Amino acid sequence: MKDLLAWYGFKHYPFDKEIKATDTIETGVFKETLARLEYMKRRGGIMLLTGDPGVGKTIATRCFANALNENL
């Protein structure tokens, strides 16, 4: 596995379940997901986030949660 990581210049396995919020690539779909989560927060509602495995549901919600104000 280390040879594969070195070949592509990766520092860690890109599909690890414990990916850090700082290691994201903000695609258009990712930004749209964050915008929808922000809309849900402003409206004070709930949201169902669905998608195929590996599309970024967990990391999007982690990034959103990390950006929330801890004092509220």
Q: How much is the pLDDT for 72?
A: 66
Answer yes or no: is 3 within a domain: no
Answer yes or no: is 6 within a domain: no
Answer yes or no: is 7 within a domain: no
Which regions in the chain score pLDDT beneath 50?
A: none
Alpha helices in 1-72 (DSSP H): 2-8, 28-43, 57-66
Q: How much is the pLDDT for 23?
A: 74
Which positions ≥6 away from 51 have C-beta within 8 Å? 57
Please tell me the total count of domains within the chain: 1
d(CA 19, CA 7): 20
Answer yes or no: is 58 within a domain: yes
Answer yes or no: is 4 within a domain: no
50 lies in which domain range?
Answer: 18-72
pTM for this prediction? 0.72
Answer yes or no: is 8 within a domain: no
Answer yes or no: is 37 within a domain: yes
